[in-house]
Amino acid sequence: MNQNSQRENGFKGGIQAGTTAWDKDSLKLDGDLHQIAVELREEFPNLDYVFKLSKQQKIDLLGDDCFGFSPDGGAWFSNGKLVAAFEAKKQGVNGNAIERWWKNASIAECINPDIKYITFCSGQGAKKGEVLDKTRKLAKIIKGENFKFFMNADGFDTKKMKTIVKNTLESID
């Protein structure tokens, strides 16, 4: 099986046969954000970190388990209330990573309309005027100020990402 990234030239939309929804840069971004969350758990003992909601959590929060919810940087709870989630999205000019963003962001908003939902965007789609930038603008209109995007087509320094995550959690804790 050919494991070409969907971010290559000639991409037609959706995950095509023989392609993947990731490449080394997107895996690094996802992995870095996950590792930051794991490291920060100890610094925020008043917050509960969950990488992927369990079946029972989904039933307790929204009455059913018919959905998946596992933001790359996890979901953070305070006294059982979802208060923050962190997402990483790398997208080329083409691709559908952002469609998965809308799903997770909408689920998070259903659980708690006041959630702080932070997304780190990289790749060519994160350039000014491209799909991630357009999504950032639309999310601000539809979802409001608590849905923040950090854009860098070339990716992120883990120290900067950690500072953003930590500052967000400190604003809640």
Q: Quote the pLDDT of residue 115.
A: 97
Query: What does the DSSP 8-state code read for residue 37?
Result: H
> Domain locations in the chain?
29-172
End-to-end CA distance of the chain: 47
Beta strands in 91-166 (DSSP E): 116-122, 147-151
Cα separation, 66 vs 74, whole angstroms? 19
Q: Quote the pLDDT of residue 133.
A: 93
Q: Quote the pLDDT of residue 100.
A: 83
Sign of CA dihedral 8, 12, 17, 23: positive
Q: Give mean pLDDT in consecutive 10-residue pieces for the chain, a chain of 173 residues.
A: 52 50 82 94 95 94 92 94 96 82 94 97 94 94 96 95 97 82
Cα separation, 15 vs 159, whole angstroms? 32
For residue 86, the SS3 value is strand
Q: Quote the pLDDT of residue 3.
A: 52
pTM, two decimals, is 0.84
CA distances from 110 to 46, 86, 89, 114, 123 (A): 23, 16, 21, 10, 29
Strand partners, 147: 117
Residue 21, token pair as written in the block: 């929804």
> Looking at the domain 29-172, which fold is it?
ECO RI Endonuclease; Chain A (3.40.580)
